[in-house]
Amino acid sequence: MDNAIIEAIEGFVATPWVYVALFAIAKLDAFFPVVPSETLVVTLGVFAAADGGPNGNPNLFLIIAVAALGAFTGDHISYYIGRKSGTRIYSRLKQGSRTQRAYDQVGEILRKRGGVVLIIARYIPGGRTAATLTTGATKYPLKYFSRYDAIAALSWAVYSAGIGYIGGTAFEDNPLLGVGVGLGLALTIALLHEGFRMLRERRSRKGKGTGPAAEQAAE
């Protein structure tokens, strides 16, 4: 069964159509995140490193280029959606939901750090869509948005494909295991990032609680 699955995947990833699918998913994931594009990029990175099938392997550099271009295109669509209706979208979010918290967090970072938020938010769960819509809704200048988003899209593509390639190199004879390891590594890094972020927020709240106002209240 596993061999049949691997052969079917190898047959598809060795065709030019895989790059068409990659571009489309990376683009759609910016504003319609049904299938996380990172999963596909990691998977293709694994097969780029694994023992080639009868038709060869996908090219690692093409994977990175197409994924980055798709992400860049999708982010700009999301940005324009934000410019047109960002405020209306935010008002419809469920109070206290994960999505609303992501929007609030991105908005705070945007006020403090400007376009750098596009790079940071790329690695926050739900942050990509929140960042692009928020920058659009706040009328952030397009030329600066494009500049930072190009860096964000390329760094994300290199990171995701690189993790997959590491998994594929470690398990050349078992691509499915390589995919599992690659996705597990990506998930672990994301969880660690989220854990450190929550820890910083908790420390920040504690620091504010021990400020002058708290001292006066204690008196």
Domains of the chain: which residue ranges? 2-207
As a whole number, the mean pLDDT across the chain is: 75
Condensed to tens digits (0 to 9), the pLDDT of residues 99-151 reads 667 667 666 777 677 778 888 888 776 778 888 888 888 778 899 899 999 99
* Count of beta carbons in the 10 Å neighbourhood of residue 54: 8
Please give the share of the chain, as a percent, with pLDDT higher than 90: 21
pLDDT digits (tens, 9 = 90+) for 62-107: 999 999 999 999 999 999 998 887 667 666 666 767 666 766 766 6
CA distances from 11 to 24, 26, 106 (A): 19, 21, 40
Note the pLDDT of residue 168: 75
Write the single-letter amino acid at 34: V
**Total-model pTM:** 0.71
Rounded to whole angstroms, the Cα distance separating 91 from 182 reads 37
Q: Compute the distance between CA of residue 154 and CA of residue 47 in angstroms, rounded to an integer.
A: 20
Query: Which residue, among 181, 182, 188, 161, has the nearest Cα to 13 in the 3D structure?
Result: 161
Tokens 């938020």 belong to 117
- Residue 115 is given by DSSP the state G
56 beta partners: 53
pLDDT single digits (tens) 38-64: 888 988 888 888 755 545 678 999 999
Query: Where does the chain have alpha helices with state H?
Result: 2-13, 17-28, 37-49, 60-91, 98-113, 117-121, 127-137, 142-170, 175-209, 212-218
